[in-house]
Amino acid sequence: MLMGNCLLLFLWCLIDKSFVSPLHSSSQSRMGKEQYRNMLAHRKHGMMGVHRVKRGWVWNQFFVLEEYMGSDPQYVGKLHSDLDKGNSMVKYTLSGEGVGSIFTIEPSTGDIHALRSLDREEKPYYTLRAQAVDVLTGRPLEPESEFIIKVQDINDNEPRFLEGPYSASVPEMSPIGSYVTQITATDADDPTYGNSARIVYSILHGQPYFSVDPKTGIIRVALPNMDREVKEMYQVVIQAKDMGGQLGGLAGTTTINITLRDVNDNPPRFSKSIFHLRILETSPVGSSVGRVKAHDLDSGKNAEVEYSIVPGDGGSMFDIYSNKNTHEGTVILKKCLDYETRKAYTFKVEASNAVLDHRFLHLGPFKDTATVKVNVLDVEEPPVFSRLSYSMETYEDTTVGIIVGAVTAEDLDVGNSPVRYSVEWRKDSENHFDIDPVEGTLSVIEALDRERHTEHNVTVVATKVNNPLLSSKVTVTIKVLDVNEFPPELAFVYETFVCENAKVGQVIQIISATDRDIPAVEHRFYFKSPSQTRNRNFTIRDYGNNTAGVVTRRGGFRRLEQSMYLVPVVVEDGGYPLQSSTGMVSVRVCTCNTDGSLLSCNAEAVIFPMGLSTGALMAIMLCIVILLVMAVLYMGLRKHKKKDTLMSSKEDIRDNVIHYDDEGGGEEDTQAFDIGTLRNPKGIKEKAQLQKIRSEDEPNRASACMSNEDSEDIRAYIHHCLLENSSPPYDSLVTYAYEGEGSVAESLSSIESWVLEPKEDYRNLCDWGPRFKTLAGIFKEHEWVNVTAP
């Protein structure tokens, strides 16, 4: 085989002259340019150069067999360059994957050998680089080239089923060709080379029940009418063989466990035709008389049997219960028995499948019948309770000693012996209840806690006094209820209407209620009208389903007489303690058509021949009152403005600059600016005090700004006025709404105040601060003009 591979490589080299891998085209181009520059350098120094370098690598891709078992290294191929003249002046080098450990090269001949056995499944190929260099100079004669050594596959791996063994199922009675499952095997050999990975499936064990597709591995049913009741499990062995199933191929096997799924193809059958049962005459209603059973060969739901009593003479005394777990029918007592009246009963019981498969109905009816005979036994009866079990309820805040309920038992024998009651005590649980031995009333003996136990089961024993060995027991279930805390309320704010032409007994609104309490079962609400008041217009009708209706009690409503009614509704719950609340339903009187459709409910004025409606008159009166209030407020505000000055803000009025839009009479108008007439009484008093201070200080003044000590009282006064918001400081500039000859107060201007009051002296204004410095200069110039005037 090795010689054959070498011959193939030799023929390939002859056909493909270039034999260069395209993977190294760029590197060859770069290394070719370097070689050309080296040749030019040789010529420049007078050395003999080669006119043209022809690349002559004779490889492109090599192959090496996997799993080589020879003693000598496996020959891979030979590297050769056209520049190699056979004079041992060319040296071949090798680099890349596995060089030295797997592959080696003879430097002088270029022969490549594999040092050890290779496995294609571990690594399918190796990438290496070859270089031809001059032995003397060590310079490369050829650019470094890249080539690949492929590991040639052999059939050394058998097909394998990675997920086996498999499990599958198919319905019984399936037709031929029904799909069961599909299996797939994998082969690690090279699928592109030969038939090493071509797999063919065949069945080794499991015929003639199943078949397998040789190409896809799909398993199908091969035999019809396979019955699960005959055989349920089948084991099928499948073989996967490579090399297309030819002789010499490797094979792998797997097991498929196929289960037949059940279908309802078998009816139930009683094991015997007559069942004999016995029961004591003292057995309470609901007691088990006995069991009957019909066998069904199917399984699961297909084997479920439903039992029923065929109507007849004796069947009315008994009933039958179907047990899905045991597939049995339990006959129970439906009515009380009396041995003296009847000693035996006979009836028929029918067994049928609950689920039918219509595909198999042709096999016959899927039901069977049997006869049941019940004999009544005469025995001395223990006391019989009035019920099979008792259920009672009590609240968690029940006081100790309160009776929760009672049980009753009696002796049905002729002697009619008295009965005594007792509670069966349990050591492993708390005992919260006790029973009266004569009356049979259960009472609380310990505080109940619903958070710990929501339910208590008490066993009560009834014993005959004449024969204490005869006793009977009954279970009393006592539920601990939560205390009812919140009253019920109407579900919505109900606003409805009633037509003026409404009739008696007409329902105008359906109401419901809500409750924040969470009951054990469900809410139950009761609706009614308040008992302390009698409503002649409307009443409440409780429907018994947590809803009620507002019903008219009369007709002929008139919107002019009364446009709105408030109907009280009392809502009660069924909790403990009883909670209730009263809600209101607003009912407006509206105009409607004859068919009851709404026309208008607005409160507009309706004019009748006799005048305006009551609502319209009330609206008009309300408007008049609003207008009167607005007029009074306006007059009060206007009068307040006349009394108060406009300088009542909290700002420093010395910084205010007042702009007058009206022109006065000028300086010659001596009657238009008399501010003294309009000053308020408080301002006049302050002015008199200030004039007194000036008159006392006038002999001591030398000039307008000579002494600061003389004006200390004035500064204190001005500071006092500046701190007060109710009255402006002396000599403030105030804008008034009207000014002139026609005013009773005459002129409001302060321009002529110095003419009317010649005794006032403003020379000390400079002592008031920098804000009055300009004003002091103006008065000083005015005084100087008056002095110098002729």
Whole-number pLDDT of residue 189? 80
Whole-number pLDDT of residue 379? 78
- In the numeric block, which tokens belong to residue 443? 């009472």
The residue among 145 and 691 whose pLDDT is bigger is: 145
Number of H helices, E strands in the chain: 7, 40
In this predicted structure, the answer to whether residue 764 has a pLDDT above a threshold of 90 is: no
Q: What percent of the chain has pLDDT over 70?
A: 73
Q: What percent of the chain has pLDDT over 90?
A: 32
Query: Are 590 and 599 spatial neighbours (Cβ–Cβ below 8 Å)?
Result: yes
pLDDT band at 727 (very low <50, low <70, confident <90, very high): very low
The chain-wide mean pLDDT, for the chain, equals 77
In this predicted structure, the answer to whether residue 698 has a pLDDT above a threshold of 80 is: no
In this predicted structure, the answer to whether residue 140 has a pLDDT above a threshold of 60 is: yes
Whole-number pLDDT of residue 661? 54
In this predicted structure, the answer to whether residue 590 has a pLDDT above a threshold of 80 is: yes
d(CA 133, CA 136): 9
In this predicted structure, the answer to whether residue 201 has a pLDDT above a threshold of 50 is: yes
Task: State which of 300-304, 345-349, 613-617, 670-674 shows the largest mean pLDDT.
Answer: 345-349
d(CA 277, CA 298): 28
Where would I find the beta strands (DSSP E) of 281-432?
288-295, 305-309, 318-323, 328-333, 344-353, 367-377, 384-385, 389-395, 403-406, 409-410, 419-423
d(CA 536, CA 224): 85
The residue among 32 and 707 whose pLDDT is bigger is: 707
Q: Which of 302, 303, 167 is nearest to 233 (CA)?
A: 167
In this predicted structure, the answer to whether residue 739 has a pLDDT above a threshold of 70 is: no
> Which whole number is the average pLDDT over 337-362?
85
Lowest mean pLDDT among 166-180, 562-576, 710-724: 710-724
> Which whole number is the average pLDDT over 180-197?
84
In this predicted structure, the answer to whether residue 373 has a pLDDT above a threshold of 50 is: yes
At position 620, the amino acid (one-letter code) is I
Whole-number pLDDT of residue 533? 82
Whole-number pLDDT of residue 644? 55
d(CA 268, CA 299): 11
Total residue count of the chain as it appears in this document: 790
Q: Which of 744, 718, 566, 569 is nearest to 654 (CA)?
A: 718
Q: Which of 639, 645, 670, 660 is nearest to 729 (CA)?
A: 645
Token look-up 């409910």 returns 601
Whole-number pLDDT of residue 110? 85
Whole-number pLDDT of residue 111? 87
d(CA 131, CA 79): 9
pLDDT band at 539 (very low <50, low <70, confident <90, very high): very high
The residue among 114 and 754 whose pLDDT is bigger is: 114
Whole-number pLDDT of residue 43? 35
Whole-number pLDDT of residue 721? 66
Whole-number pLDDT of residue 691? 52
Whole-number pLDDT of residue 614? 63
The residue among 77 and 167 whose pLDDT is bigger is: 167
How crowded is the C-beta side of 285, counted as CA atoms within 13 Å?
10
At position 631, the amino acid (one-letter code) is A
pLDDT band at 585 (very low <50, low <70, confident <90, very high): very high
d(CA 307, CA 318): 13
Query: Are 585 and 498 spatial neighbours (Cβ–Cβ below 8 Å)?
Result: no
Lowest mean pLDDT among 272-286, 580-594, 728-742: 728-742
What pLDDT digit, counting tens, does each position of 58-82 carry?
A: 455 788 887 788 788 888 888 888 8
Whole-number pLDDT of residue 41? 38
Q: Which residues of 337-375 are buried (b: 16+ CB within 10 A; e: fewer)?
A: beeeeeeebebebbbbbeeeeeeeeeeeebbbebbbebe
Q: Global pTM?
A: 0.38
Concatenating the DSSP letter of every residue in 636-647 gives HHHHHHHHS-S-
Task: State which of 336-340, 614-618, 757-761 shows the largest mean pLDDT.
Answer: 336-340
What pLDDT digit, counting tens, does each position of 707-720 carry?
A: 454 467 777 777 77
Whole-number pLDDT of residue 277? 94
Where would I find the beta strands (DSSP E) of 503-612?
507-514, 525-528, 538-542, 547-552, 564-573, 580-592, 598-600
What pLDDT digit, counting tens, does each position of 456-483 carry?
A: 999 999 999 988 998 999 999 999 887 7
pLDDT band at 11 (very low <50, low <70, confident <90, very high): very low
Whole-number pLDDT of residue 275? 95
Neighbours of 125 (CB within 10 A): 14
The residue among 153 and 721 whose pLDDT is bigger is: 153
Largest CA distance in the chain: 162
> Which whole number is the average pLDDT over 771-785?
68
Query: Are 673 and 666 spatial neighbours (Cβ–Cβ below 8 Å)?
Result: no
> Which whole number is the average pLDDT over 149-174?
87
In this predicted structure, the answer to whether residue 650 has a pLDDT above a threshold of 90 is: no
